[in-house]
Amino acid sequence: MGGMDRRELKVGIAGCGTIGRKVASELDCGFVPGARLGGISSRNLARARRFASNLNCCPPVVGLERLVEMVDLVVEAAPASAFDSIAKPTLGAGKDIMVLSGGALLDRDDLFALAERTGATIYVPSGAIAGLDGVAGAAAGRIDSITMITRKPPSGLRGAPGVEKAGIDLDALTEPTVVFEGPAIEACMLFPANVNVSAALSMAGVGPTLTRIRIYADPTVDRNTHDIVVEGEFGRLSIRIENVPSAANPRTGVLSALSALAALRRITSHVRVGT
């Protein structure tokens, strides 16, 4: 499209929760020049309509298939369990998708092939971590190891199948306790709502089998913290982030929605900063 005027990017929101609402509200306020909110879909359409009625642009609230027809790009911000029902029709129609439930995208060669066939693009924003530019750069050369240590307040891990599997009583913890140690691919299956960052890290680096993660339920922290160390021919990269939990969903850091907004800005902007 070089030299031509770009037309406005119509963005749809699939999943009108903590991240979806923030992204919708900021789009509505014009935070992403060159993009506008084209519609919203969610499990509970009546609730989404109540939310949408308070926005300036009064976006249509519709079922997913209709949303896909109406927009150029769908921001997937629903639970991981709903991922396929959003990603398949979106990519099948040749529309782009921005994936927040990154763990559900791991090893999905079928979806990558579908995107290639229909000419769609899958965007995976950094979400609740930083430093993926450095990881991607390092991965253009030899990487020896990528490890991530995650600490979460025990309440943020409630309901995860991995906690049950580890046989841990979250309410009884008085000190940091390891609830998982192993490859990111397994972590994303056992903690589908908690470690999407390890999926983005895997995809930027050496894949979900070689990326190792240790997860602590830690009653001494009130922020979700991630410490990542990458070693390779380039040297050593350490990344540390302390995420403030969202008020509406303590499992989701405030940075997640902000990252999606920055990623949208990157798509529509004529100036791109970073790797």
Ligand X SMILES: NC(=O)c1ccc[n+]([C@@H]2O[C@H](COP(=O)([O-])OP(=O)(O)OC[C@H]3O[C@@H](n4cnc5c(N)ncnc54)[C@H](O)[C@@H]3O)[C@@H](O)[C@H]2O)c1
Give the catalytic positions in this structure.
226
Q: Output 25 or 249, the one with its CB closest to ligand X.
A: 249
Q: Interface with ligand X by CB under 6 A: which range of 27-35, 39-47, 166-174, 210-218?
A: 39-47
In the complex with ligand X, the residue whose CB is nearer, 18 or 150, is 18
Residue 44 interacting with ligand X (CB under 6 A): yes
> Using CB under 6 A, which of the segments 76-84, 113-121, 169-177, 207-215 binds ligand X?
76-84
Binding status of residue 50 toward ligand X by CB under 6 A: no
Say how far apart CA 251 and CA 230 lie, in whole Å: 25
Q: Which two tokens stand for residue 267?
A: 């798509």
Which position among 20, 59, 156, 162 is part of the footprint of ligand X (CB under 6 A)?
20
- Residue at shortest CB range from ligand X: 17
In 3D, which of 121, 149, 146 has the Cα closest to residue 136?
146
Q: Closest approach of Cβ 152 to ligand X, in Å? A: 12
Query: Using the rule CB under 6 A, is 211 a contact of ligand X?
Result: no
Q: What angle do CA 120, 122, 126 make, to 5 degrees?
A: 155
Asked whether position 14 contacts ligand X by CB under 6 A, the answer is yes
- Nearest distance from C-beta of residue 38 to ligand X, angstroms: 16
Query: Which residues, 149 to 208, sit near ligand X by CB under 6 A?
Result: 193, 196-197, 200
Q: How far is the CB of 223 from ligand X (least distance, A)?
A: 13
Residue 90 within binding range of ligand X, rule CB under 6 A: no
Nearer to ligand X, 37 or 232 (CB): 37
90 neighbors 97 (Cβ within 8 angstroms):
yes
Rule CB under 6 A: is residue 249 a binding residue for ligand X? yes
Binder to ligand X among 127, 131, 205, 232 (CB under 6 A)?
A: 127
102 is an interface residue for ligand X by CB under 6 A: yes
Q: How far is the CB of 15 from ligand X (least distance, A)?
A: 3
Joined together, the tokens standing for residue 140 give 């253009």
Min separation Cβ 131 and ligand X, Å: 13
**Rounded to an integer, what distance in angstroms lies between the CA atom of residue 243 and that of residue 259?**
12
Q: How far is CA 112 from CA 40, 120, 129, 248, in A?
A: 24, 9, 23, 32
Residues of the shown chain interacting with ligand X in the complex, contacts defined by CB under 6 A = 14-20, 41-44, 77-80, 82, 85, 100-102, 127-128, 193, 196-197, 200, 248-249, 252, 256
